[in-house]
Amino acid sequence: MITLVINKIKWELVLILLFLFRYPETRLFIYLRRFIYKGLLKRMGLGVDIFSAVFISEPGNIEIGSNVTIHEFCLISGYGGVKIGDEVSIAAGSKIFSATHPYDNPKVKIRRGGLIKAPVEIGDNVWIGANVVITPGVKIGSGVVVGAGAVVTKDLEDNCVYGGVPAKLIKRRF
């Protein structure tokens, strides 16, 4: 019981620290956010920069590789698990969802139906443009570029450029 209370207090202190370090955009605060998230995430590689106003839920289900940048106003929902490879850039305002609500039972209110969890995987050397939405269960291959404002609803092949709503193949990179 005492360890439960201590863990609760630790979590509250971490949330306060994250709030205090959320907005300043100097290297010092980026390093402080890196230090805090290193203890919260399932795995975090070297050289990860998490910029201000990023919201991460269920960090214990999220793995982030090395040399990753997550820019301002991104949301990463880790309920179903999220794995981000190395050398990934996620531009401002992007959203990654790894869970959704069931809506196929007319007897159950949608918001009361629980969650359907489906992991999201992002390969190495990927650029996620600004305001991209990635839906649950999607696998994005390595070397992919996703154009700004795209909605990714299906798996994306390696070394391709995608864009649109829903995201479609625009061209192969090589």
Q: Which residues are catalytic?
A: 101
Cα 29 from Cα 73, distance rounded (Å)? 16
> 143 near 107, Cβ under 8 Å?
no
Cα 125 from Cα 122, distance rounded (Å)? 9
Cα 51 from Cα 71, distance rounded (Å)? 5
Cα 82 from Cα 41, distance rounded (Å)? 10
> 103 near 122, Cβ under 8 Å?
no
Residue with tokens 């269920």: 58
